[in-house]
Amino acid sequence: MAKISAMFSGSRGNCTFVSSGNSSLIVDAGVSAKQIILAMQQRMLDPEELGGIFITHSHADHVSGLRVLLKKINIPVYASKETLGSLILADVFNSKSRYYDIEEVPELFMDIGVQFFRTSHDCPGSGGYVFTFANGEKAAVCTDLGYISDTVRSAITGVKTVVIESNHDVGMLQNGIYPFATKQRILSDEGHLSNVACANELPKLVKNGTSNIILAHLSRDNNTPDLANVTARSVLVENGFKENKDYILNVAPPSGGKIMYI
């Protein structure tokens, strides 16, 4: 049975666990290696069995624990060419590290099919992933995007379980303490997806087969789990969809995200 767990999510660090059959991997390593290993052990998962780390982009909240984790466990790293270049410049890899351009490797990773797709974010080579499991079901990790491009929409349409960014409430952001330039960056097409922008995409996803939705990468300062949840649910209800019948909606916490079986 396939599993997914958004173990860490938000501006302070991101790491998602995915497994199917005898294959397991993580997406991003944005918290300390110690936290990642402990989180896996708490879920009765063996870090030594990880077959790969798939990086979405090189911002610190997605890679800050990678250097130490690679020293503890010799796991291959997969990412876009641009992201790998940034990690090399940052001296993340050691002499034993193995790293590969995700767009040049086979689409099948052990028991899991992997599709990388590009996202609009202010980091070269930023992207997301769709994973296809042995039972035919799919899961997507889709965060850190200023808007839902045609490329993103094409990739995640029809995917049963979608981890999708619902980063901020626009009103909270505009009236908050962030500098004007930071607010403009977040609101731009290379920033982060707002609650409303995320919610407006959900009916299309549910209509095309998405039944498990995990709202992720919530801002600690410009959002709340309740706001993200209510915004998403209200748009789905307006479009005639019923919670726990047509879809299941969860909000990924900053840490401690539960395992979902797919």
Query: How far, rounded to the nearest angstrom, does the alpha carbon of residue 238 sit from its chain's CA centroid?
Result: 27
Note whether residue 262 is domain-resident.
no
What pLDDT is stored for residue 81 in this prediction? 98
Q: Which tens digit of pLDDT belongs to each residue from 17-61?
A: 999 988 999 999 999 999 999 999 999 999 999 999 999 999 999
Provide the number of structural domains found in the chain: 1
* CA distance from start to end of the chain: 7
CA-to-CA distance for 205 and 160, rounded, in angstroms?
9
Cβ-based neighbour number of residue 205 at 10 Å: 23
- Whether 248 is in a domain gets the answer yes
Write out the H or E segment, with its range, that includes residue 250.
strand 248-251
What mean pLDDT do residues 243-253 have? 97
Residue 53 falls inside a structural domain = yes
Q: Say if residue 188's pLDDT is above 80.
A: yes
* Distance from C-alpha of 166 to C-alpha of 223, rounded to nearest angstrom: 9
Distance CA 251, CA 164 (A): 10
φ/ψ (deg, to 5) at 214 = -120, 110
Q: Mean pLDDT across the stretch 194-213?
A: 98
The residue ranking higher by pLDDT, 88 or 110, is 88
Structural domain that includes position 165: 3-257
CA 7 to chain centre: 10
Q: Percent of the chain beyond pLDDT 90?
A: 95
Neighbouring C-alpha atoms within 13 Å toward the C-beta of 143: 31
Task: Report how far Cα 209 is from the mean position of its chain's Cα atoms.
Answer: 19
What pLDDT score was predicted for residue 61? 98
pLDDT of residue 1: 83
Q: Can you give the CATH number for the domain in which 89 is found?
A: 3.60.15.10
